[in-house]
Amino acid sequence: MLSILISIVFSSFLFDSSSSYAFTTNAKMPVCMRGTQEIQIDNARVIDMKQKTANQYHDRGFVEGRVAIPPTVQGDHVHFSLAIGPAKKDTVEIIYNFDTDFGELAQGIRMGDTVVVCGDYITSNAPAGGYRASPDGALIHWTHWNPATRAGSMNHEHGFIMTGSTLSGFDRAPEGSWDGTVLQPRGGVNRPENGNHSGNRGKRNGPPQRKKRHYNGGGSICGSLSECGGF
């Protein structure tokens, strides 16, 4: 009787753990949104932003590439480098938060694997506010769905990572998020709607900035943890 009870408790623990919010296999690819507009995979645009925009420039990124540096765990984030162009410097750092709100990243991502990433792009080619730049000079973060449960998280559209037919970061998203019929409310990030990049960082209409600044895991600086939105 005791062994049965232990088995039930153990099974319940597994169901309630982060494994219940894991990646999705045999999945279709969700749309990648930029405000109210669906965007397509465009490596050239991200490379152009990396080369021409100022440090800390924010936009959206939707890319497909091959893993140049395999994933490493840094705190509760996974970082890896993705090659998205023919030149050696045509890389972007990918950051995934494996918090239980967002789900686990698919296991077994290796050097050379093809990966599709949708998320928030940041030019990060120089230290800012006392923090290091991204090793790749640019990064894409918020590569998972946005539950909008955290202060400041309204500044982010949904993101995701696809490795083959395996989808990470989107298994708990509402059904309408897959085709863009349900949009995440925006919190005031100003982005150029015509696709041009001025090199200026978009301004946030969020809470007042605090004197102490926080590193978000890849070179971008936020005025407060609530402004960072948890990443």
Please state the CATH superfamily assignment of the domain spanning residues 23-183+202-228 in this structure: Nucleic acid-binding proteins (2.40.50.140)
Give the C-alpha separation, 34 to 158, whole Å. Answer: 9
Buried b (16+ CB within 10 A) or exposed e, 6-45: eeeeeeeeeeeeeeebbbbeebeebbbbbeeeebebbbeb
Answer yes or no: is pLDDT of 139 > 60: yes
Amino acid 58 reads H
Answer yes or no: is pLDDT of 114 > 50: yes
211, 228 in Cβ contact below 8 A? no
pLDDT value of position 47: 98
Q: Look at residue 154 and give its three-state secondary structure.
A: helix
Which of 14, 40, 223, 219 has the alpha carbon at shortest distance from 132?
219
Q: What is the residue extent of each domain of the chain?
A: 23-183+202-228
Mean pLDDT (the chain) is 71
Give the H/E segment covering residue 65. Answer: strand 58-74
14-68 pLDDT per residue, tens: 223 333 345 677 678 888 988 889 999 999 999 999 999 999 999 999 999 999 9
Answer yes or no: is pLDDT of 153 > 70: no
- Whole-prediction pTM: 0.69
CA distances from 61 to 36, 44, 87, 164 (A): 15, 10, 19, 19
